[in-house]
Structures are given as structure tokens and as C-alpha cells.
Amino acid sequence: MFFNKLFGFFSKDLAMDLGTANTLIYQKGNGVVLNEPSVVALSRDSGKLLAVGQEAKEFLGRTPKKIEAVRPMKDGVIADFKVTQEMIKYFLTKVQGSRLIHPRIVIGVPTGITQVEKRAVIEAAESAGTRSVHLIDEPMAAAIGANLNIEEPYGRMVVDIGGGTTEVAVISLSAIAYSESIRVAGDEANDAIVRYLQKKFQLLIGENSAEQAKINIGNAFPKEAPPTYDIAGKDIVSGRPKVVTITEKEMRSALAEPIQAILQAIRRALEKTPPELASDIHDSGITLAGGGALLKGLDKLIAHYTKLEVNITEDPLKSVVLGTGIAVENMNTYQKVFIN
Ligand code: ADP
Ligand code: MG
């Protein structure tokens, strides 16, 4: 009884995937305890936080004039420091409440993150009552989460396709030997769908509807998606509600540009990888992680163009958080992968 009370003062160590689309938190011993969109709804007048996460995501495109729904990480790494910090604080408080002894935390961050951005993430975590904040590169975390043996002197390529960024990384000896990051991923795919429907069908749709369409019929390779899908929106000219039936082939044309950009990033990374590691990748293939990896047929397309074997991690939306979780469960073993 006494000991239970005593240990109640201690919070369990945490791990976080701070994604441009989704934030996930892992608690030592308990697994994934939070999985919410990285979205914040604010009052336009006071700047006050009105909703965070899933609730705020439903506000996107549906807010009255007085409310603004923002994705603080969306355009690049951290587009809005203050809101990002508030969001981190909100999520951390949600999972741990207030405790006397503060937990340690491991946070996955994009490879391209600047010193200033690192500082902002660390400060946000500290202001939410955590101590000793460790950062880890997201592709490294995804590799750990996918149970790849990152410690070997052997090259492996991980492609993490998230909402805002696609990160291509070559990992060997617990380090990132080469990385390539582009700001084209799931969000750009949604935007491409919006533009395509606007141009071809004079149909206006919002970000969330575009994402739903992408998840249902989005595809990168023939015969991987259902043949057709109905999308509801608004006619540009008349302003009236309208439904359009789109085919999987049309969807492929809509997504051609962002998909090409991802293919090119992979190709560039393969070209720039040192020969020994490139030859390892020839044998080990490419591992896809991140929600974007779920786009139907994308693995087949990448395999077709690179002539390499392509595998998707077991649960691509969770690879990073599970990797940071493994790091927090085995803090000493993973010291060398922390980047701060
Ligand atoms: P981040 O790490 O940037 O937060 P995630 O790894 O959580 O990103 O992936 C989010 C992206 O994955 C979003 O753009 C979302 O639309 C996309 N996504 C999720 N599920 C699917 C699916 N089944 N098909 C295609 N894209 C998907
Ligand atoms: Mg991610």
C-alpha cells in the first residue's frame, strides 16, 4: 500500500512520435497510450486553445469564423512554435496528469530538424513536466520499430512517408549514413486530389474529404484499388452540392506528381549512397513506414522502378512510436541513437 503510494509519485517514462499529421505517445510498460491528429483549434479573438487532436481535426474546413483549426507542424517541420508547444504540452498532460517525479522522454523528430527546432521541442516537453528529453531521428525510430537490426555494419534503406515530409534514410551501425528529406508526402497527395477534381470536374472539396478519397481509392499501381469511388463536394460555378464518380485510373493521374517526387527522392538517395552500403541495400531492399506507405500499390511501384524488394512495416502509422518505445524501454542500449 505504502509502496504503491510512493511509486505513484513517479511517472512512467514516455516516448513520443511528433508527426506532422499524427502524434502518438508510448508509456513505458503500457505501450501506445495516445494516438491523435496533430491539430489544434484556436479562438481567432483570444488565441485560446479550444480543442486539440481528433476533436480539432473534425473542425478542419468546418470552422465558424471565430475558430481556426491549424496543423502547427504541417508545412515543413515546425511551422508554428507556440501552437506546437501548446499541443505537446496538452498531449503529455493528458497521458500523465500531474506527478511529483517527472518522467524521462524520448521524442522522434524529422531528420532535417534545425537546432532552433530541436530546442523548441525540448522546451515544450520540459514545460509539460518531463525531464531529460532525448531526441531520435524518425527514420531511425521507424527502423527500430520495424525490428531491423540497426547496429550491424550493414546498409538498410528506410522510407518514412508521413503527412508533411517523406524521409529517405540509409542506416548502418546505429547511425544515419545518408538521408534525403522532401516536403512532399500525404498532405501533398490530398492537395493534388483537390486540384485534380477542381480542374477536371469543377468540384470543390475539403482536405478531409480528399484524404478519405485517397484512403479509399488512392493508388499508385494498376488494379490495386476499387474501380470507382463517389466524392461529394460543391460545384465551383453553381455553388451547389454535387457528387462525382472518380475511377482508379483518374486517381492515379491525380496523384502522379507527388508520387513522382517521392520516387525521385528515393532514386537520388540510392545514387548518393556509398557503394558498399548501396550493395547492402541491393540485398536488404527498402522498408516503407509512415501512413503514406499505405497508399495502395505504392510498394509495387517503388519495387518496379528501383528493381529492389520493398517491404511495408507491420503497422506503418505506428513504426516510429513503437521504435521510440523500444528505445525508452531499453534506454541504456539505445543511448547511441539519441541525437542530442
Ligand atoms: P506524420 O508522421 O507526418 O504524422 P503519418 O505517418 O501519421 O504522418 O501518416 C499520415 C499520412 O498518412 C496522412 O497524409 C494520411 O492521409 C496518410 N494515410 C493514412 N492512412 C492511409 C491509407 N490507408 N492510404 C493512404 N494514405 C494514408
Ligand atoms: Mg512520422
Residue 211 Cα: closest atom of ligand 1: 16
Which three-class secondary structure string do you get for 150-205? CCCCCCEEEEEECCCCEEEEEEECCEEEEEEEECCCHHHHHHHHHHHHHHHHCEEC
| pLDDT recorded at residue 63 | 74
For the segment 170-216, what is each residue's pLDDT rounded down to a tens digit? Answer: 999 999 999 999 999 999 999 999 999 999 999 999 989 999 999 99
What is the distance in A from the centroid of ligand 1 to the CA of 20? 10
On average, the pLDDT of the chain sits at 92
Q: What is the pLDDT of residues 72-88, one digit of tens each?
A: 888 666 778 889 889 99
* Ligand having the closest approach to the CA of 295: 1
List pLDDT tens digits, range 9-21.
Answer: 567 999 999 999 9
Mutation to probe ligand 1, out of 22, 24, 36 (largest number of atoms < 8 A from CB): 22
Cα 50 to ligand 2 centroid, rounded to whole Å:
25
At residue 62, the pLDDT reads 77
Taking the CA atoms of 141, 218, 263 and 279 in sequence, report the sign of the dihedral they define.
positive
Is it the case that residue 100 has pLDDT exceeding 80? no
- 61 C-alpha to center of ligand 1: Å? 18
Q: Whose CA is nearest to atom 2 of ligand 1?
A: 19
User: How far from 212 is each of 201, 215, 233, CA to CA, in Å?
Assistant: 18, 5, 13
**In the beta sheet, which residues pair with residue 160?**
167, 289
Helix (H) and strand (E) counts in the chain: 11, 16
Q: Above 80 in pLDDT, residue 3?
A: no
Residue 275 has pLDDT above 50, yes or no: yes
Position 2 pLDDT exceeds 80: no
Whether the pLDDT of residue 115 is over 60: the answer is yes
Q: What is the pLDDT of residue 1?
A: 46
Question: Which residue minimizes the CA distance to atom 9 of ligand 1?
Answer: 291
Output the pLDDT for position 148. Answer: 96
Query: Which ligand sits closest to the CA of 212?
Result: 1
- On the question of pLDDT at 151 being above 60, the answer is yes
Residue 4's pLDDT is 44
Looking at per-residue pLDDT, the higher value among 313 and 71 belongs to 313
Least confident segment among 5-14, 44-53, 166-175: 5-14
CA of 86 to the centre of ligand 1 (A): 23
Ligand 1 first shell, C-beta below 6 A: 19-22, 162-164, 186-187, 211, 214-215, 218, 290-292, 294-295, 317
What is the pLDDT confidence band of residue 114, given thresholds at 50, 70 and 90? confident
The pLDDT of residue 9 is 55
CA of 52 to the centre of ligand 2 (A): 18
Q: Is the pTM of this model over 0.85?
A: yes
- Is pLDDT at 273 greater than 50 in this prediction? yes
